[in-house]
Amino acid sequence: MTQTTPQNTPQITPEIVEQHGLSSEEYDRVLNALGREPNLVELGIFSVMWSEHCSYKSSRLHLKKLPTEAEWVICGPGENAGVIDIGDGQAAIFKMESHNHPSYIEPYQGAATGVGGILRDVFTMGARPVANMNALRFGRPEHPKMKHLVQGVVAGIGGYGNCVGVPTVGGETNFHPAYDGNILVNAMTVGVADADKIFYSAATGVGNPIVYVGSKTGRDGIHGATMASADFEEDAEAKRPTVQVGDPFTEKLLIEACLELMATDAIVAIQDMGAAGLTSSSVEMATNGKAGIRLDMDKVPCREEGMTPYEMMLSESQERMLMVLKPGKEEMAAAIFEKWELDFAVIGEVTDTQHMVLEFGGEVVCDIPLGPLAADAPLYDRPYLSKEEYTAWAGITPMQDVPDSDNPGADLLKMLASPNLASRGWIAEQYDSQVMADTLQTGGDAGVVRVHGTKKALAMSTDCTPRYVHADPYEGGKQAIAEAYRNLCAVGARPLAVTNCLNFANPQRPEIMAQFVHALEGMGDACRALDFPIVSGNVSLYNESKATGGGSAILPTPAIGGVGIIEDASNMVTSAFKGEGDAIYMIAPEFWAKPDPTRSHLGKSLWLDVVKGRDEGRAPPVDLAAERGAGHIVRRLIEFGLLSAVHDLSDGGLAVALAEMALRGGIGADVTANADYSAAQWWFGEDQARYVITVAPEKMDAFNKELAAGPEIPEAEMVGFHRIGTVGGDSLLGVSLEQMRAAHESFFADWMEA
């Protein structure tokens, strides 16, 4: 067959190139790679593969600096998801993805298909998904669109996750004006598989059949990857056709069919069709296998009449997979997928040409060398500001005129009623957290699920404090990792590895690129110090909107998903106060015992924002040695069964942590301030590396004996224990539990019922 230009293909003009998101320089690279003009199919394929979403062209250079290895890491970045060893021949497989732009345009389907996509990333590798998490960022509640967006996103996450039968066990939801025109919807899935039965995406074996399974291809989601790699114009609503439509019931069938086939020896390689659909899945499989690929587009199952190869290759229709099978296994595989009422079609074969060749109607409609599409895709070293230049640009200075709290109890009520600290019960009740019957904890520091049939449990947490990252990208990046680490330690888990979703604005702006580069540096340093490698992730750039009346960039939001192991689930602890008379301690670095107004951190705190209406100061510094030491001590005390409750200190400081423990336990506490600190510093400062723990009276002797034994690791020498009160009564800081609960539950109730 000879290369021909398909009939009715328009002439490739500069306007068409621009519509496909390619710069003139990138188009020159296309011409050089092909040695000729591309046709529209080829241009579309280059467009999606060279989008930020697929190529990571602005981020690859810096992502390579992150630590990705440890003795328990089986597979790091580069596959569909990360894989870690959790003992007993088992592996945890997990990843976090973004679905930001689609969720702003069409919140229900955008969020739902985000969940569906991340589920596929995990079960593609042979894992049964066991838990979902999410990290959501919305704009001002008073923004005219925000209520609709929140309702749609939450309903989409719940609708898809509940129907597919995977529990949603935790997450985080924040509000800030920077997300008015560009919300963030990050979804995370954790699965479990046998460590010796992991499936990868490398297409090998010349002549091996390439198989399409799942749903039929439609015209939904065409150019979704390109859309996700651009900022929003004023006409965001017009982009609805680029948003995919999901079907969770089909996804459930697809999970079961894939896992059934995986139990045989038929599969050589497997890849889900996510962003850029059939294009990215076929290119990635061929590239990873250092092979070529030939597809017969006439054989692609389509649900709409007259679909062109361009539409088929760029569609992002959901619930589809691409596989390479061993020869002769087609009939058996087809029977499995037909049993589950899913489409099955042999659509091509593996070749040795290292080209992607597409045939349609007896003609070759695409012939592209794979190198330029993937491994040799554009790579940019974008200019960025130094840390000092960035601090000057952002106008970050030490806080002057540090305020104090006249009434900590009244301030606490105001904090609990604020959007960023209010109860997420309205959200959580829309998610099924108990399906599969292995969920052990939700709503605390970390979600926890039992590894079915064992005494082990997996803990998972999503964390980031964007206001810190904006003020100091390096310290904010460290803090995001450190908080995930603390949250896992707080339930008794040993932190093992990290996935991430790096949400930033336009990388072509040096100040935005500075946020990205310095945040990654902080994340990398934290991961190395805490033995907490990054094994998977996603980058989402161009998160800004002209629809809000000017270049509105989001706060830099490197969302972190942490996963840890609890060897014996019976040792797990929760944050709820348990019993009258339990002693309350704050665990904190010893240097914190020596008052220092510059370190008792109110800068960038929620108290400063909510109570004083001020956004000032620097982000709190993160001492990684102290984080490691405090985490080690907490895990050890939990393992010995000495603690009745644990909670890390983060947003809102000590007062908010105590209030959350009281509300979850239905018991108050009698606590005392430290006269060496101002009331605001003591109760609402957001210093890092701190936990609140409680010890029952009958455990005090053993607890004191353990403390007297001294630290096991040098970093623990930095950590001290401060007795701050006793559990009991029905109030905290002079405020009744009833008042706190009413304040805590008021925001969503008032907003959603208005």
What angle, 0 to 180 degrees and rounded to 10, lies between the N-to-C axes of helices 107-123 and 146-164? 30
The pair of structure tokens assigned to 369 is 């060398």
Strand pairing class (292-296; 355-360): parallel
Query: What phi and psi values does residue 202 have, to the nearest 5 degrees?
Result: -75, 115
Query: What phi and psi values does residue 62 have, to the nearest 5 degrees?
Result: -90, -30
Catalytic residue, chosen from 62, 99, 101, 176, is 99
Rounded Cα distance, 435 and 438, in Å: 8
Among this protein's residues, is 470 annotated catalytic? no
Residues forming beta bridges with residue 302, ordered by sequence position:
217
Cβ-contact 272, 281 below 8 angstroms: yes
Rounded Cα distance, 121 and 691, in Å: 34
In terms of Cα–Cα distance, which of 210, 100, 124, 120 is closest to 160? Answer: 120
In terms of Cα–Cα distance, which of 221, 260, 392 is closest to 338? Answer: 260
In terms of Cα–Cα distance, which of 715, 712, 733, 734 is closest to 724? Answer: 733
Q: Alpha helix locations (H) across 463-605?
A: 466-471, 473-491, 510-529
Q: How distant is the alpha carbon of residue 627 from its chain centre? A: 22
Rounded Cα distance, 128 and 110, in Å: 23
* Residue 111 vs residues 107, 114, 186, 226, 311: alpha-carbon distances, Å: 6, 5, 9, 18, 23
Q: Alpha helix locations (H) across 143-218?
A: 146-164
Cβ-contact 718, 590 below 8 angstroms: yes
3-state helix, strand, coil in the chain (%, to 5): 40, 25, 40
Among this protein's residues, is 20 annotated catalytic? no
Cβ-contact 626, 587 below 8 angstroms: no
Rounded Cα distance, 643 and 629, in Å: 17
Kindly list the catalytic residues.
53, 99
